[in-house]
Amino acid sequence: MTINYRDFIADVPDFPEKGVIFRDISPLMENGAAYSAATNDIATYAANKGVEMICGPEARGFIVGCPVAYKLGVGFAPARKKGKLPRETISVSYDLEYGQAALYMHKDAVKPGQRVLVVDDLMATGGTIAATIKLVEKLGGIVVGTAFLIELKDLHGRDKIKNYDMFTLMQY
């Protein structure tokens, strides 16, 4: 059965602030067939890249990245928001479509030379994924690809990561 992923995205106008159309992935996550097809599609992309580790930003990057890591039998390294990681961290600050933020990773989360896939649910301005890539590279990881459920093309996030291969299931 072919899945039309867009059937599982809820478009919510003016959330979390006026003018933003929020692309809600929760109907996709709540549907076993759609969630597992999306996981399998990203896992196939990752396997072809020889990925040894998946990295994703809190929180929705975990929802997409962890099942891919499980499917491939590789590890998952979280990039987390301030104050969440208990051991020594490195950090990178970035801009959001609606705000400012910073992400942190444990210093030993990625090993030098490891082939890493950076995953998130959605690319908007590209700030989050660019920050996550920077964190992985600071740790010596090699970012061999990026993967998303959704790319918001009008925000040109791809320009921020144009040196990296990118896989997306949906574009708006």
Ligand X SMILES: Nc1ncnc2[nH]cnc12
97 among known catalytic residues: yes
What x-and-dash track marks residues 78-97 binding ligand X by CB under 6 A? -------------------x
Per partner kind, with CB cut-offs from 5 to 8 A, the member of ligand PRP, ligand X, none near residue 65 is none
Question: Which of 37, 38, 74, 122 is in the footprint of ligand X by CB under 6 A?
Answer: 122
Cα–Cα distance between 89 and 146 in angstroms, integer?
Answer: 22
Strand-pairing partners, residue 160, are none
Can you read off the two tokens belonging to residue 66?
A: 């962890």
Q: Which is nearer to ligand X, 5 or 22 (CB)?
A: 22
Q: What x/- string results for residues 142 through 161 when contact with ligand PRP is judged by CB under 6 A?
A: ---------------x----
Count helices and strands in the chain by DSSP H and E runs: 4, 9
d(CA 44, CA 157): 24
Among 89, 114, 125, 146, binds ligand PRP (CB under 6 A): 125
Q: Which of 11, 3, 1 is CA-nearest to residue 122?
A: 11
Please state, in angstroms and rounded to a whole number, the distance separating the CA atoms of residues 22 and 105. Answer: 27
CB closer to ligand X, 9 vs 53:
9
Catalytic (active site) residue 87: no
How many residues belong to the site for ligand X (CB under 6 A)? 8
Q: What amino acid positions are annotated as catalytic residues?
A: 60, 97
